[in-house]
Amino acid sequence: MATFIQLVSNQQRELVETTYKMQKDAESKRKQETVAAIIIQSWYRGMRTRYYLRYLSHCACTIQRTWRGYMGRTFCRIRVKNLVMIMRNNFYNAMAVCIQKHWRGFYARKHTHNYYARKRYLEALAVKNSIVRQELEEYQNQLNMERQKRIQQKTEAKMEFEARKHHYLLSTHQKAGIYNSPFREYPHEMEFRLKVARPLSHQNKDFITENTISTNRAPVTEQGSIVKDEEQIQGPFLPQRRVHMQRLKPLNPSLRVSTNYYSLEQEREKMKGKEWTKRLHEVPFLPFSKTKEVYKPLLHTASKYGHLPYGTKYFTEENKALHIADKQMQTVVSPIPIFDKFGQTYAKGSVVLQ
């Protein structure tokens, strides 16, 4: 304790002083310290708040980043899908075009415009044309020749007639005719004609002119003998030619004579035979669904007294008692001879005069 007292007594003053001083210092620095403390606090709080804010924003960033990444990836996937789809579509279209192109080309060449077929057709047409041209040419030549021949014949006949008409101009042994004049180097063509020609006779001038101009040919009879144009016999007679024709005319049987009497029956037999050979089923195929139905006779064909044969079986009244024979009459129309001989006989009975 002493020590304590001692100490206190020794250091009392000092202690007081110090304490006082300290007090004073503390008092003098208090304001400053407060400010400093505030500053420190404010700094600290600011820092904390900033830190917190930074933390918040960091969090937000993280969230946003993740979300955006997610969304971006989603959209990207869609976009890629679309792009691929478009790409594929384009590719498919291109392929389709390729196929269509080939098909259409093939189809058109095959069916609508076949180049080779057309070429062949045109070549064939050219050939056909040349054939037609040639045929037509031949036809025309033939026509021309015929016409020329006709003209020539006509002129020949005319010259012949002239020669016969002017036969008196023929030169004689003594005297030369006008066509064989001594001043000529050689005789005229007419001279030779005159030599050959038969002079016209005066009696039947008309008859001969008629015959020479119209080139009537003598008729060829069945025996092959040619009847000559002979002079008309005086009297009410037909020309000899016509008489010959009538006499030697070939047999001309009527239809009734030339056909078989039983031709109808024969034809029927033949037809039946043909049908029999071609038939597939001997037994006719009968319907079986309505077999039980009873046959109902028609009102006007059935009667309980039996139906009349008159009007269905026979059409004339039948009285068997009066019959001479029991055979039916054959239904054949007898021929009318006048029709068969029409225009072939020289009887004028059937010709209507106008």
Binding site for other proteins (CB under 8 A): 118, 121-122, 125-126, 128-133, 135-136, 139-140, 143, 147, 354
User: In angstroms, what is the minimal distance from the CB of 352 to other proteins?
Assistant: 9
Nearer CB in complex with other proteins: 6/134: 134
Helices (H), 108-222: 115-165, 189-196, 205-213
- What would the two tokens of residue 75 be? 């959209």
Q: What's the CA gap between 50 and 34, in Å, rounded? A: 23
User: In angstroms, what is the minimal distance from the CB of 137 to other proteins?
Assistant: 8
Q: What's the CA gap between 278 and 304, in Å, rounded? A: 42
User: In angstroms, what is the minimal distance from the CB of 313 to other proteins?
Assistant: 41
Q: What DSSP designation does 284 have?
A: -
Nearer CB in complex with other proteins: 64/114: 114
User: In angstroms, what is the minimal distance from the CB of 261 to other proteins?
Assistant: 35
Nearer CB in complex with other proteins: 87/126: 126
* Closest-CA residue to 211 (of 222, 198, 224, 196): 198
DSSP per-residue string spanning 191-231: HHHHHHPPPPPSTTHHHHHHHHHTTPPPPB-TT-PBPP-PP
Nearer CB in complex with other proteins: 101/133: 133
User: In angstroms, what is the minimal distance from the CB of 128 to other proteins?
Assistant: 5
Nearer CB in complex with other proteins: 140/153: 140
User: In angstroms, what is the minimal distance from the CB of 97 to other proteins?
Assistant: 23
* Closest-CA residue to 218 (of 208, 228, 210): 228
* Sequence-separated (6 or more) residues with CB below 8 Å from residue 318: 310
Nearer CB in complex with other proteins: 12/144: 144
Max distance between CA atoms of the chain, in angstroms, equals: 233
* Sequence-separated (6 or more) residues with CB below 8 Å from residue 256: 332, 334, 335
User: In angstroms, what is the minimal distance from the CB of 133 to other proteins?
Assistant: 5
Nearer CB in complex with other proteins: 45/149: 149
At residue 163, φ and ψ (nearest 5 deg) are -60, -40
329-to-223, 324, 325 alpha-carbon distances in Å: 43, 11, 10
